[in-house]
Every structure is written in C-alpha cells, then in structure tokens.
Structure 1
Amino acid sequence: MKEIQVTATVQLFDDIDELPAQAKQLMLQAIEARKKAYAPYSKFRVGAALSLDNGEIITGNNQENAAYPSGLCAERVAIYYAGAQYPDAKVLSIAITAASSTTQVNEPISSCGSCRQSIAEYEQKQKSPIAIYFMGELGKVAKVNSLKDLLPLGFDNSFL
C-alpha cells in the first residue's frame, strides 16, 4: 500500500476591499448578479461573474424551480452561457458570492459538487487553470488558483 497526501492552497482575504482591483470589480458584478437570483424556495441567493480572456464579463445567478432538480446554480448558468456564446474564449477567473434571506452568511461559500465538476471540465477544455474567488454576503473572501484545489483527484475525460 502507498499513501498519498492531497493538499490545497487557499488564500484568504479579510474582505472584498483587500482583493486586487480586477478581482474586486468581478466580485462586485457577482454581488449584483446575486441580487437578481430567483430563489423563492431555498431563500439562498448565489451570484457568479466570469472574466474571459476576450475581455467579456459573464454573470449568472441561481435559478430555482418547484421541481427542485430542474433549477441551476449560478456558476453553471454563467459558465454554460460563456461556453455557448464564446466557445473559444478562456475563463480566467470566477467570483462567487452567496447570501441568505434567513441568516447572515459571513463565511466564504464554495461551489457545490456539480458546479465543481462543470468548472473542471472547462479547465481541462482550455488547458489552463481558472482562479476562483468566493465569499458569503460579507466578510472574508477565499481564493484558489485552480478548481483542482477544490476538487483534487477529479474525474475528467481522460478516464473515458
């Protein structure tokens, strides 16, 4: 038997004002997208903003549905739109923010497993990492340099 250790590096900023200027602007756009989320069931609104290498900024937010599996997370709304409209553009970074109508969210909220898998697919497709910034409504902002920091030992098309 061989044991391996898997580690991840996460940078933690005290708040949005500590972010580099471009990341702060991207997070501000994610916050605006979050405000437009359709979340009547969970009361948990998520916004995402993507920075593409062609200069475009794409935003998305969660869209719920009474048939719960039919909804879609903010990250996938944004990344699928980017893939559909700009198929040759690379995603450079993603900013994600979450807020609840029932409680204050002060800790960084990372992407769910389905969103992580979707972002991993785009990293593999473009053969370059995507920086991911994530936060709650207020407080600290976390940053990883690649989805691989959030999803080590991930599944990709090399296994197919």
Structure 2
Amino acid sequence: MRIELVRGDITTQDVDAVVNAANSGLLGGGGVDGAIHAAAGPELLEACRRLRASTFPDGLPTGKAVATDAGRLPARWVIHTVGPIYPRAADPASDLASAYRQSLRVADELGAGSVAFPSISTGAYAYPLTEAAPIALRTVATSGSSVELVRFVLFGGAALDAFRRAERDLS
C-alpha cells in the first residue's frame, strides 16, 4: 500500500472511494461531511436517507463504516464513517482506529484500489491533530487492506504538518 499526504479538497479527488467523516445521522453536517454532501448533490443525501430507513434507523455507530454511491463526485463511492467525539468517548483512540480500519474493510469489499481519507474527528469532534495523525497513519499502514493507494487529503496546513510529523516519527 502506498500512502500519500496532500493538502487539498477531498471532494475533487480522482479516487475510487472518498471517506466521509460523517455524523451518526448520515444526513450531512458541517466540515468534511457538509462539503462532501454539497459536492455530491442530492443523490448522496437520498442514498443516506435509504440507509437510515433500512440498515441504520438509529444512525451509524461510532467506529463503523458503510458505503454509498458518490453522486456527482469524481469518486465512485463514498465510505461514511463516524469518528469519536473527543474527549467524550470512553476510548477515543480505539474508536478512531476502528473508523479507519472499518473504512478500509468496506473499501476492500467494494474492490476499491484507491481511497482518499480526511483527518477523521479532528474538526468539530475536537480530536487533537498531534494524537490523531499517528493513530490514522499506523492503523492504515498495518490494516492488511488490499487498497493500493491511500491518500490523506488534509484541508489545512496544520493538519498536513501534523501528519508529516507523525509519518516521520513512525518511520
């Protein structure tokens, strides 16, 4: 597996699957979730409504992942995952690792060769970047996934710097 770190907009990534740092309601929100829903168009919201009406009537649990078609995004699929709210989660590191691991499990089930991840839980969910980046990179690198390319698409310079530091420290 090749891991890339880039600063950019996850909604423009030409990959098989884009990971959405969703809230448990799956119906859009702020940050990455809102940007993905806005760029994907109403098709994504409709797909998420179907999931809520069938498989996840109580919402997607923290650390789990599920896929939908990607609507108007360049990607084929959106993999929705819910990260922990920091520090309210009982075991935030385990929940965060699970969000990455479960997203890759879903990507493998879909046959995705390339996946773009945001930095899960480090926005509105307040997970500190310096703690989240090493968890993300370590989990992805040791996942055993057959995904060939994982691209972390980081919105701001602080996130990119944190991931670069974590990458150096883990090497």
Higher helix share: 2
Tell me which of the two structures has the higher relative contact order, counting C-alpha pairs closer than 8 angstroms and 6 or more residues apart: 2
Higher strand share: 1
Q: TM-score, normalised by structure 2?
A: 0.41
Q: TM-score, normalised by structure 1?
A: 0.43
